[in-house]
Structure 1
């Protein structure tokens, strides 16, 4: 009987974890499917990761500006158009959905990001760094 109690406890923990990490509950199923399709299209070499070369290949094939495309992706998470997204919110998204990133991988990305005192990521500046490799001089 001890194993049944253990299973119940484990099952309860799993359910609680799933409920707290379901950040995509804000999106409709069709939107989630569109996200998955977009990421699959961008993974040009099919290695499960979207790296700089995948982005270059994708944008070249589409004839679009890489920075504008990345900005538009971030804008989907910024309905008020403030140009910033809460750091913890984006971290939860990146660590809980699709090809999950580790906390270390997200923290590495944040090293190149401008984050204000309130904990908001300046995604316009990050988009520039991703596409140009260095911060824009002002």
Structure 2
């Protein structure tokens, strides 16, 4: 019987190790220290300690930070949740915010920072200067390589909206 017990125990261990789908368990999206930090934040917002964040909790928390939020502002924040905000809902909402950033948007928005007139274009000379002098600097050769396939019009305008689409989805065939 002792041998049987140990095999049962081994079986129990293997079923526990089965990874859970991220969609089914919001706690699987974060590590323990992150969950602990979210719990502390939740407790700071849950001013009346009833286990739920309501409009009054939000108001009191913001007031303690020297803000004077309007009712409309608080309603807007509360309407982001599909129901009462307990800790699991709080984590779910943060998880969606943190994981929901569409890389395509992120790339496009990075280019948009340098497009002061919001045209969807940056002049290739200006972009070359930015790429070779800021952040993780590109070499001239790397910029040339990028420009080889890039959508640049006859005036030298780099179409970053189209470029971002190409990065994420591949180039359209010339025949399309």
TM-score computed with the length of structure 2 as normaliser: 0.41
1:93 — aligned with what?
130
Q: 2:107 aligned with 1:78, yes or no?
A: no
Matching residue within 105, 111, 115 for 2:148: 111
Summarize the Cα distance change of 1:131–1:62 in structure 2 as closer, same or farther, 3 Å threshold: same
Structure 1: stretches of 5+ with no match in the other structure? 1-60
TM-score computed with the length of structure 1 as normaliser: 0.51
Structure 2: stretches of 5+ with no match in the other structure? 1-97
Which structure carries more relative contact order (alpha carbon 8 Å, separation 6+)?
1
| CA RMSD across the alignment | 1.9
Q: 2:99 aligned with 1:62, yes or no?
A: yes
Distance 1:88 1:62 in 2: 34
1:30 — aligned with what?
none
> How far 1:92 moved relative to its partner?
0.7
Contact 1:129 1:136 in 2 (8 A): no
- Cα distance per residue 1:98-136 (max 9 Å; x no partner): 221111101111122111111110001110111123238
Structure 1 runs, 4 residues or longer, greater than 6 Å off = none
1:78 match: secondary structure: coil
Summarize the Cα distance change of 1:98–1:69 in structure 2 as closer, same or farther, 3 Å threshold: closer
- Looking at CA atoms only, which structure, 1 or 2, has the larger radius of gyration? 2
2:141 match: secondary structure: helix
1:68 match: secondary structure: helix
1:41 — aligned with what?
none
Q: How does 1:25-36 map to 2 (within 5 A)?
A: none
